[in-house]
Amino acid sequence: MSFQPSEPRPRAGITAVGSLLPDDALSSDALQREVARGSGLTLPPRLLTQATGIVSRRVAAEGVYASTLAVGAARRALARAGLGPLDLDLLVFASASRDMVEPATAHIVQERLGSRAHALDVTNACNSFVNGIDLARSMILAGRARRALVVTGETPSRAVRRTPADLAEFRSGFAGYTFGDAGAAVVVEAVERGGILDVDTETHSEHWEVGGIPGGGSRHPRGDAYTYFRGDGHELRGVFEKVGTAVIDRTLHRTGMDWDGFARVLVHQVTVPYLERFAELTGVPAEKLVVTVPELGNVASASIGVQLDRVFDELEPGEKALFVGLGGGISIMTMVWEKS
């Protein structure tokens, strides 16, 4: 019997990326002054800046929605790929923000782009975008799609309580003062080499109540009081410190890689102290990080997409990046990607 070589294993990869930032910038000092005026609270000077390391963030203007930012980023990604909207057969809107409860925001994005793809939403807090990329990859490897566009549009600045009633309410919503707005998009398609090489996840759902925006679902369908982010930032950080390194250690062990093997490490960024703590716990060299949080704040699931857009062109074919997603719920996700 003659030897028959096996078919090459199919691969899917990110071939283009785009991002979009709102025009309007809001400094932490200006945000703090607004909160102090609206609430009557006396707050320590530069509290927000010093506690978070966030100097400013971008905020979506009136009439700019999650879909608006996603569409702008999508157009840039498609242009970079040399593609048109009709070249897509899967469109995933993967975001913690959305335009409305129903229909899926993916349909709003699709209508504005003029595409005719299978369109759906994926939501998993700040891990939404990486989850969306993984879903697109899985659909391509399963033969269900040939080319996908994964987009996110994040407007968490609209979940910030600008007029807390008292100090307790200010503290309960403090993590929300880190938020900024942004959009990102990637094209995912079959590639001959490189691509997404490894994906791993770890989920600790017993911590789902630590932080979030409770309004808009069946528990609290109405009432402005539920539309603001609330949560204990210290508790969130504690949970991530406790469980967050295990999946990274597992990924490095399974792939046989160390930090020298990655040209860049793109990690979801909440605050400067948290990013510094992440580097300390994992040992990732600071020069491999793409630091955006001081100027953009916590842009939720758009964080990794914005970082990737900033370094995509400087990466050479064959160079690898590690994505590290952290999301409320609690979920941690890693993705090893090699530029094709």
Are 94 and 57 within 8 A, CB to CB?
no
pLDDT above 50: residue 265: yes
- Residue 180 CB coordination number (10 Å): 30
Distance CA 287, CA 46 (A): 28
Closest Cα partner for 106 from 16, 127, 118, 184?
A: 118
pLDDT tens digits for range 144-166? 999 999 999 999 999 898 999 99
Helical H segments across the chain, by residue range:
28-39, 47-52, 66-81, 105-113, 128-141, 167-172, 233-255, 272-282, 293-296, 302-311
322: nearest Cα among 254, 251, 269: 251
Instruction: Identify the residue whose tokens are 């009432």.
Output: 223
pLDDT score, position 233: 64
Average pLDDT of span 264-283: 94
Active site residue 126: yes
Closest to 63 measured CA to CA, from 155, 129, 127 = 155
Q: Has 234 been annotated as catalytic?
A: no
Q: Which helix (H) or strand (E) holds 93?
A: strand 90-94
pLDDT bracket for residue 205 (50, 70, 90): confident
Q: Say yes or no to pLDDT of 5 above 60.
A: no
**Per-residue pLDDT reduced to its tens digit, 164-181:** 999 998 998 898 999 999
Q: Is the dihedral of CA 78, 82, 84, 86 positive or negative?
A: negative
C-alpha–C-alpha distance, residues 43 and 34, integer Å: 11
pLDDT higher than threshold 90 for residue 28? yes
- Residue of 124, 127, 131, 298 marked catalytic: 298
Q: State yes or no: pLDDT of 87 exceeds 80.
A: yes
Render the burial of 119-128: b for 16+ CB within 10 Å, e for the rest.
bbbbbbbbbb
Length of the chain: 340
Question: 8: pLDDT confidence band, cut at 50, 70 and 90?
Answer: low
Distance of CA 40 to the CA centre of its chain: 34
Q: What is the mean pLDDT of residues 93-109?
A: 96
295-327: pLDDT as tens digits: 999 999 999 999 999 999 999 999 999 999 998
310: left (phi over 0), alpha (psi -120 to 50) or beta: alpha
Average pLDDT over residues 51-67: 97
Per-residue pLDDT tens for 206-242? 877 777 777 777 776 777 766 766 776 666 767 777 7
Return the structure tokens found at 306: 């914005």
Of the candidates 337, 290, 320, the residue with the CA atom closest to the CA atom of residue 134: 337
pLDDT at 220: 66
Give the pLDDT confidence score for residue 10 in this predicted structure.
83
Most distant CA pair in the chain, distance: 85
pLDDT at 143 over 90: yes
Burial zone of 54 (CB within 10 Å; 0-12 exposed, 13-18 middle, 19+ buried): buried
Which pLDDT score is estimated for 216?
74
Task: Give me the torsion for CA of 217, 243, 232, 327, rounded to 10°.
Answer: -40
More confident site: 25 or 234 = 25
| pLDDT for the residue 228 | 67
Q: What is the mean pLDDT of residues 22-34?
A: 97
Does residue 207 have an active-site annotation?
A: no
Q: Does the pLDDT value for residue 261 go beyond 70?
A: yes
Strand partners of residue 11 = 191
Res 1: pLDDT: 44
Catalytic residue, from 126, 127, 131, 207: name it. 126
Lowest mean pLDDT among 5-19, 23-37, 51-65, 293-307: 5-19
Query: What DSSP assignment string belongs to 12-53?
Result: EEEEEEEEE--SEEEEHHHHHHHHHHHH-----TTHHHHHH-
pLDDT given for residue 286 in this prediction: 94
Cα 80 from Cα 77, distance rounded (Å)? 5
Of all residues in the chain, the percent with pLDDT exceeding 70 is: 94
Q: Within 10 Å of residue 66's Cβ, how many Cβ atoms?
A: 28
- At residue 188, the pLDDT reads 98
